[in-house]
């Protein structure tokens, strides 16, 4: 019996990961023969562990917290979007034995907003909360959609301004503190902070949503996040969590590995149902 191609997600922690469920659904849907598992990698041992995986015939890895920078350093070749983000969430073995690194987070976010939710991004005034690795991964693809303006707000203003400067060749982008948001108004707010994981909320002023504003939390869970509840209370036109982004970025990884793009909508629904089970 022929053995299946091996794939995995590397992280620490990783027990909670939905990636095995998602990629199993993709494989069943597309008729691909593969095995995908979640693997907790010890801190400081990423390069060693990933090297062993590929030397033993592994075909591809997804990378989650806290190893995206390690994966960036590990890859032999980088996509333009991975180089711009300074982080890698997808590693793929090439025919010549080299390792290709990509970052699919941003395209996953854009596809979920545009294709699944039907949100218009071109010409919109966009506010992004946070200036960490999650935000760094989405700004390039987001700016390529042609928003009128992107403002990155962060508790540490220097970090927001530095991040904006890194991406300013791609579009109109600036950085500020949360205090600097007073008086502004936005058509789309993206929460890229981890505040929702602790039941917290960034310090946002009232009346910063336009009349048809959308609000997107990159986190997800069985219940609406504190950010989503805040946005609904501020009369946002539409709110969403980041589950669709998770599935869409996984689909992009799957396509890089297998050369076929799965249908994401039934998989988003499958994972959504499993969250509330």
| CATH number of the domain encompassing residue 161 | 3.40.50.720
- pLDDT of 1: 43
Q: Are 49 and 56 in contact (CB under 8 A)?
A: no
Share of the chain above pLDDT 90, in %: 90
**Which distant-in-sequence residues (6+ apart) come within 8 Å of 157 by Cβ?**
175, 176, 177, 180
Average of per-residue pLDDT across 107-123:
97
Co-location of 58 and 125 in the same domain: no
Q: Which pTM value belongs to this model?
A: 0.95
Give yes or no for residue 259 having a pLDDT over 80.
yes
119: containing domain: 106-240
Query: Pairing state of beta strands 125-129 and 186-191?
Result: parallel
228 is in an annotated binding site: no
158 is in an annotated binding site: yes
241 is in an annotated binding site: no
Buried/exposed 244-253: b ≥16 CB within 10 Å, e otherwise: bbbbbbbbbb
Co-location of 10 and 60 in the same domain: yes
CA nearest 252: which of 96, 123, 88?
A: 88
Co-location of 162 and 137 in the same domain: yes
Cα separation, 204 vs 254, in Å, equals: 37
Co-location of 120 and 230 in the same domain: yes
Q: For residue range 214-233, what is the model confidence (pLDDT) as tens digits?
A: 999 999 999 999 999 999 99
Q: For residue range 8-34, what is the model confidence (pLDDT) as tens digits?
A: 999 999 999 999 999 999 999 999 999
Give yes or no for residue 2 having a pLDDT over 80.
no
Which CATH number do you get for residue 55? 3.40.50.10860
171 is in an annotated binding site: no
Residues annotated as catalytic are 68
Q: For residue range 36-86, what is the model confidence (pLDDT) as tens digits?
A: 999 999 999 999 999 999 999 999 999 999 999 999 999 999 999 999 999
Q: Are 217 and 191 in contact (CB under 8 A)?
A: yes
CA nearest 214: which of 154, 124, 136?
A: 124
Co-location of 220 and 97 in the same domain: no
Cα separation, 30 vs 89, in Å, equals: 22
Into how many domains does the chain fold? 2
Running DSSP on this structure, what letter comes out for residue 74?
H
90 is in an annotated binding site: no
Per-residue pLDDT band for 169 (boundaries 50, 70, 90) equals very high
Co-location of 131 and 68 in the same domain: no
Co-location of 122 and 69 in the same domain: no
Query: Pairing state of beta strands 60-63 and 99-102?
Result: unpaired
Average of per-residue pLDDT across 96-118:
97
Co-location of 61 and 171 in the same domain: no
Co-location of 181 and 215 in the same domain: yes
Co-location of 19 and 79 in the same domain: yes
Distances (CA, A) of 71 to 63, 178, 201: 7, 31, 30
Co-location of 19 and 136 in the same domain: no
């Amino acid at each position: 019996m022929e053995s299946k191609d091996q794939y995995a997600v590397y992280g620490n922690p990783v027990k909670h990961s939905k990636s095995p469920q998602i990629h199993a659904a993709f494989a069943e849907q597309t008729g691909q023969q593969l095995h995908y598992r979640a693997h907790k990698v010890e801190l400081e041992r990423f390069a060693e562990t990933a090297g062993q995986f590929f030397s033993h015939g592994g075909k591809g890895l997804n990378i989650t917290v806290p190893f995206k920078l390690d994966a960036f350093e590990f890859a032999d070749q980088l996509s333009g979007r991975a180089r711009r983000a300074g982080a890698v969430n997808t590693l793929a073995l090439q025919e010549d034995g080299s390792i290709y690194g990509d970052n699919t987070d941003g395209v996953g976010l854009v596809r979920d907003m545009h294709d699944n939710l039907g949100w218009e991004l071109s010409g919109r005034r966009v506010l992004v909360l946070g200036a960490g690795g999650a935000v760094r991964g989405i700004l390039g693809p987001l700016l390529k959609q042609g928003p009128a303006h992107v403002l990155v707000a962060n508790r540490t203003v220097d970090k927001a301004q530095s991040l904006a400067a890194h991406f300013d060749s791609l579009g109109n982008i600036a950085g500020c503190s949360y205090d600097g948001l007073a008086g502004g108004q936005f058509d789309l707010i993206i929460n890229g902070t981890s505040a929702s994981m602790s039941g917290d909320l960034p310090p946002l002023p009232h009346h910063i949503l336009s009349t048809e504003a959308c609000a997107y939390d990159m986190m997800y869970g069985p219940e609406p996040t504190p950010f989503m509840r805040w946005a609904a209370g501020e009369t946002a036109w539409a709110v969403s969590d980041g589950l669709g982004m998770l599935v869409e970025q996984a689909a992009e990884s799957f396509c890089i590995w297998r050369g076929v793009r799965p249908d994401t909508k039934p998989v988003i629904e499958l994972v959504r149902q499993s969250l509330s089970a």
